[in-house]
A and B are shown apart, each in its own frame.
Chain A
Amino acid sequence: MGFIDIFSQQLVNGIVLGSFYALVALGYTMVFGVVKLLNFAHGDLYMVGGFAGFLILSFLSPFIGPGWFGVAVSMVFAMIAVGILGVVIERVAYAPMLSAPRLSILITALAVSLVLQNGMLTITKGQYVPFGSALGFGGVNLGSLFISYNQMILVGVSIALMAGLEIFVSRTQYGRAMRAVSVDKDMSRLLGINVNRVIAGTFFLGTGLAAAAGTMAGAYYGSLWYFMGFLIGLKAFTAAVIGGIGSIPGAMLGGLILGLLESFGTQLPGVGSEWKDVFSFSVLILVLVFKPTGLLGKPEQERM
């Protein structure tokens, strides 16, 4: 393969990977925006979303098939179910801690992460679970570049979800209220906004997006594992930081950049794919040192 071929193939891989990162990073950044919490359980909600999608698909596939249509329907149900789980977690675990010192709520988030992971470990006994989707292997050849239909659908769905979110946040009163709550809670209350409800809605949306990514990842890679959320949680956090945590377009951009950096980084001489994670987290450290506000972040934001 020539240079151009490798370049374009890695470009496709990077965009696919970046879509997952972006979807998960969005939830991270939205939750951080409204409650200033780094929700370390967010990656695990992606994992739970994968299992929820799997469970729903195994019920539905006799009726609607295990193809992309079946996966898409299961994804929507998984988004709703896990979205509700996200709201329950916020109400039960985080809401009572919101006025406590910041470290307490951070530790709570770690605890929630452990509960979700170990809960799933117990249920699955640590085994990989085949997702049960049948997506086929078709695709399009562009010269020597191969793009599978699965990759196209996955990226297309991710773009549609992100565009939907962007329109929701910028064009609707509820979306504006979300942004208002993230900059000034007391003023939001004076405007008649039910701040607690907006926070719950934000958890629902953010967690729902993670569940969408989890279901799609399960269908795309073909299997699920209780620990699959850990690494992507950290990657999504990295993506959110690159874009500027708290910024929604920043999370999308950060996810894409991180996906591309990883897929191209592994092509550098001496940097094999086993160095992928080292590469990502080096980027995180560099961003934190040299541009802690990220690409699109606002400099005055408090962070931890």
Chain B
Amino acid sequence: MASETVLELEGLSAGYGRIEALKGIDLKVGRGQIVTLLGANGAGKTTTLKVISGLVRAQSGKVRFAGDDITQMDAHTIAQAGLVHVPEGRHVLKGLSVRENLELGAYTVKSVAVRKQRLEEVFAQFPILKTRANSDGSLLSGGEQQMLAIGRALMHGPKILLLDEPSMGLAPKLVLETMLIVKRLNEAGTTILLVEQNARLALKLANFGYVLENGVIRLSGPAAELRSNPAIVQAYLGT
């Protein structure tokens, strides 16, 4: 990891009540990278993202973003700083149109001109969202909702994007398409921390990977190495 570190977790622990979900996690994401976080259900992947974005409070350890300690910051302040979390299940806002969902993605952007320009960019990237701009966001298909969720995140102008299971519940063809979108975003310069069930695809996209097991990082390394690691192949890639 030669590049400058954008996001760094240091001995991060968190839990819900007496349940300890994360037990001292160290993780780094460098500028311009895709880093993937793999693991079985319940390993603590989603909790990790929630602690980073401030939805869940850390019990100990530190989260550093662009050099600043954001461990104790409120979620909305962290979002304003440019760390954008696209949660599992997309969370398209019901009762708000596609356009309104996107507009709210740029809630922290004060300039109307910038908002307008970003909206045009998102529409250019996802033409389907433009054709459905005035319909209720929650009425879109799963794949379209995923595009809306990602488009909404792009409206922020993120410095780093946390994607939680973007391919969840999508048809195989759409899974591939979603991954291509992630790749394109990264090529355009967005740093990405990706949590993904589909480990095979995730490791193809990523520069670096971490494997989480019961709240502990079991393995980490360059994605190419993890792909050929026999333990990973057996546990996550199948044959």
Contact = CB atoms under 8 A, between A and B. Distances in A.
Interface of A: 173, 176-177, 179-180, 183-184, 186-195, 298
Contacts of B55: 186, 189-190
A186 B93 contact: no
A224 to B, nearest CB: 38
B227 to A, nearest CB: 31
B95 A183 contact: yes
B97 to A, nearest CB: 10
A229 B239 CA distance: 71
B85 A190 contact: yes
B73 to A, nearest CB: 11
B80 A192 contact: yes
Interface string B48-88: 00000111000000000000000000111001100011010
Contacts, number: 68
Contacts of B105: 191
A190 B87 contact: yes
- 9 tightest A-B CB contacts, nearest first: A192-B79, A189-B75, A192-B108, A187-B91, A192-B80, A194-B76, A192-B107, A190-B85, A189-B76
B95 A184 contact: no
Interface of B: 53-55, 74-76, 79-80, 84-85, 87, 91, 93-96, 100, 103-105, 107-108, 152, 156
Contact of B79 (A183, A184, A191, A298): A191
A12 to B, nearest CB: 34
A195 B55 CA distance: 12
A180 B76 contact: no
A190 B75 contact: yes
A76 to B, nearest CB: 28
Contact of A298 (B84, B95, B103): B95
Contact of B96 (A179, A190, A194, A195): A179
B104 A177 contact: yes
B95 A190 contact: no
B195 to A, nearest CB: 15
Contact of A183 (B93, B103, B107): B93
Nearest to B53: A190
Given A177-B104, A186-B87, A187-B91, 4 more contacts: A173-B103, A179-B95, A189-B75, A192-B156
B95 A176 contact: no
15 contacts: A173-B103, A173-B104, A176-B107, A177-B104, A179-B93, A180-B96, A183-B96, A186-B55, A189-B74, A189-B79, A190-B91, A191-B76, A192-B107, A193-B107, A298-B94
B91 A184 contact: yes
A189 B54 contact: yes
B104 A184 contact: no
B76 to A, nearest CB: 5
A301 to B, nearest CB: 10
A193 B95 contact: no
B94 to A, nearest CB: 5
Contact of B76 (A179, A183, A195): A195
A173 B106 CA distance: 9
A95 to B, nearest CB: 15
Contact of A180 (B75, B79, B104): B104
Contacts of B104: 173, 176-177, 180, 191, 193
B54 A187 contact: no
Contacts of A298: 94-95
A187 B95 contact: no
B108 to A, nearest CB: 4
Given A177-B107, A190-B75, A191-B105, A184 B54 contact: no
Nearest to B108: A192
A178 B192 CA distance: 29
B87 A187 contact: yes
A176 B84 contact: no
A187 B153 CA distance: 11
Nearest to B75: A189
Interface centre among A177, A191, A195 (most CB of B within 10 A): A191
Nearest to A197: B76
Given A189-B74, A190-B75, A192-B156, A184 B93 contact: yes
A176 B87 contact: no
A191 B95 contact: no
Contacts of B53: 190
A183 B100 CA distance: 13
Contacts of B54: 189
Contacts of A177: 104, 107
Contacts of B152: 191
Contacts of A173: 103-104, 107
Nearest to A195: B76
Contacts of A189: 54-55, 74-76, 79
Contacts of A190: 53, 55, 75, 79, 84-85, 87, 91
A298 B54 CA distance: 30
Contact of B100 (A176, A184, A186): A176
